[in-house]
């Protein structure tokens, strides 16, 4: 939808607007991978957990992967299909409940496996072990699960001679917004280092980071890789994408509150912020697109878009517009459905953006509004 049509929607900002049609398109593409290869596809809740969309997603995918107790519970109660839970370490007091809620539990170390195996087996969980392939092509260290010194997954050397009682599958996660070509190279390392274990496993989870729904992604190669590993080791393959499910499937709507001149730089202060509502802009860092705007200097009026918090660096980026921005102008940041709602903070008492769904056909349904109580109740 273009910015003119979006601007005419009656939205109180800040607001995440989820594009239901696009979520469904993304899920249909992932379902085609599932149909072609027999692999099972899980939604990574850490990326996208707006559960009002779960009934739609469940039509196409097999279940969810959870990062601990709360996501496992959300998956069990709201998604209602397979729940796979993995955490760098499980909290002992929570593990019984995690095991009750989960179909699969994936341990991050042999010591965790030994500690919790009996509890997991009592709840009939399928057990897995996360391995670290020791190879990745993720350039940003913050997002690289295989960076030197990473705590994520057991290295091959640590498994020499290991028996792994009860474990029927391996899991690795080594990609971040990457193509099937990278998966091919990672998979080669996994086979070289863990192939002897795969021989006796029943399933292999290829983790997330597969950018399947991005234009130009080589779906055929992904399918070939899945087919090959499935046939070679005779196992069930899983993938657990998060971002690919919600890629380009939502906007963050914001309003200009004020414009100021900072010694020659025009700044627009918004009723949203990178720090609170789009944290990856600062963490990664990356530059979101704004509908109808260009890069700095491309259109006649360049503005720095900045957040309404005390953080000096709470800057989204520099953008240009056909006319000068004014208080009250509405802006739409694109691709804001994943890793946003799940990561928000209320720093400076910033209100959480409401969550709305844009239905195919144009109807907007506000599914959640937040209030002062949501801020207050976390603090004492």
Ligand X SMILES: Cc1ncc(COP(=O)(O)O)c(C=O)c1O
For ligand X, the binding residues (CB under 6 A) are 44, 46-47, 65, 86, 173, 176, 207-209, 240-244
Is there a cis peptide before residue 285, judged by omega within 30 degrees of 0? yes
- Measured from the CB atom, the residue of 84 and 117 that comes closer to ligand X is 84
For residue 303, the minimal CB distance to ligand X (Å) is 31
- Measured from the CB atom, the residue of 63 and 209 that comes closer to ligand X is 209
Torsion angle, CA of 204/152/31/23, rounded to 10 degrees? 170
For residue 239, the minimal CB distance to ligand X (Å) is 9
Q: Give the separation between CA 183 and CA 173, rounded to whole angstroms.
A: 10
For residue 356, the minimal CB distance to ligand X (Å) is 22
Neighbours of 361 (CB within 10 A): 7
For residue 44, the minimal CB distance to ligand X (Å) is 4
- Measured from the CB atom, the residue of 46 and 60 that comes closer to ligand X is 46
Choose among 123, 89, 82, 124: nearest CA to 106.
89
For residue 25, the minimal CB distance to ligand X (Å) is 17
- Measured from the CB atom, the residue of 148 and 328 that comes closer to ligand X is 148
CB burial string 266-295: b at 16+ within 10 A, e below: bbbbbbbbbbbbbbbbbeeeeebbbbbbee
Question: How wide is the angle at C-alpha 281 spanned by C-alphas 365 and 74, nearest 5°?
Answer: 50
- Measured from the CB atom, the residue of 34 and 314 that comes closer to ligand X is 34
For residue 42, the minimal CB distance to ligand X (Å) is 8
Q: Give the separation between CA 40 and CA 12, rounded to whole angstroms.
A: 39
Is there a cis peptide before residue 14, judged by omega within 30 degrees of 0? yes
Measured at CB, which residue is nearest to ligand X?
208
For residue 207, the minimal CB distance to ligand X (Å) is 5
Strands (E), 59-210: 63-66, 82-86, 104-107, 126-130, 167-171, 203-205
Choose among 177, 326, 146: nearest CA to 248.
177
- Measured from the CB atom, the residue of 237 and 293 that comes closer to ligand X is 237
- Measured from the CB atom, the residue of 178 and 273 that comes closer to ligand X is 178
Choose among 255, 272, 342, 247: nearest CA to 6.
255
- Measured from the CB atom, the residue of 229 and 315 that comes closer to ligand X is 229
For residue 179, the minimal CB distance to ligand X (Å) is 13
């Amino acid at each position: 939808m273009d910015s003119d049509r979006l601007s005419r929607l009656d939205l109180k900002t800040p607001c995440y607007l989820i594009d239901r049609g696009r979520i469904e398109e993304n899920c249909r593409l992932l379902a085609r991978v599932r149909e072609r290869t027999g692999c099972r596809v899980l939604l990574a809740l850490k990326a996208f957990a707006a559960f009002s969309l779960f009934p739609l997603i469940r039509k196409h995918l097999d279940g969810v992967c959870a990062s601990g107790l709360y996501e496992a519970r959300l998956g069990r109660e709201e998604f209602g299909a397979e729940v796979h839970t993995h955490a760098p370490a499980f909290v002992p007091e929570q593990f019984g409940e995690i095991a009750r809620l989960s179909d699969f539990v994936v341990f991050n170390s042999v010591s965790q496996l030994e500690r919790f195996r009996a509890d997991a087996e009592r709840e009939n969980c399928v057990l897995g072990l996360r391995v670290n392939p020791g190879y990745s092509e993720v350039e940003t260290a913050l997002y690289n699960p295989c960076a030197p010194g990473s705590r994520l997954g057991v290295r091959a050397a640590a498994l020499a001679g290991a028996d792994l009682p009860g474990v029927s599958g391996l899991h690795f996660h080594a990609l971040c917004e990457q193509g099937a070509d990278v998966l091919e190279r990672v998979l080669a390392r996994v086979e070289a280092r863990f192939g002897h274990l795969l021989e006796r496993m029943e399933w292999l989870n290829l983790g997330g980071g597969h950018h399947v729904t991005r234009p130009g992604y080589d779906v055929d190669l992904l399918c070939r890789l899945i087919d090959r590993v499935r046939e070679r080791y005779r196992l069930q393959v899983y993938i657990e994408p998060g971002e690919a499910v919600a890629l380009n499937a939502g906007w963050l709507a914001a309003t200009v509150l004020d414009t100021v001149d900072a010694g020659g730089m025009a700044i627009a202060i918004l009723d949203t912020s990178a720090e609170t509502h789009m944290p990856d802009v600062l963490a990664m860092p990356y530059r979101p697109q704004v509908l109808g705007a260009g890069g700095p200097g491309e259109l006649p009026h360049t503005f720095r878009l900045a957040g309404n918090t005390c953080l000096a660096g709470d800057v989204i980026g520099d953008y240009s517009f056909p006319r000068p921005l004014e208080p009250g102008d509405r802006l739409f940041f694109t691709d804001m459905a994943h890793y946003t709602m799940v990561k928000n903070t209320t720093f400076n008492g910033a209100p959480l953006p409401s969550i709305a769904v844009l239905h195919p056909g144009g109807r907007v349904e506000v599914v959640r509004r937040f209030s002062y109580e949501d801020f207050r109740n976390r603090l004492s």
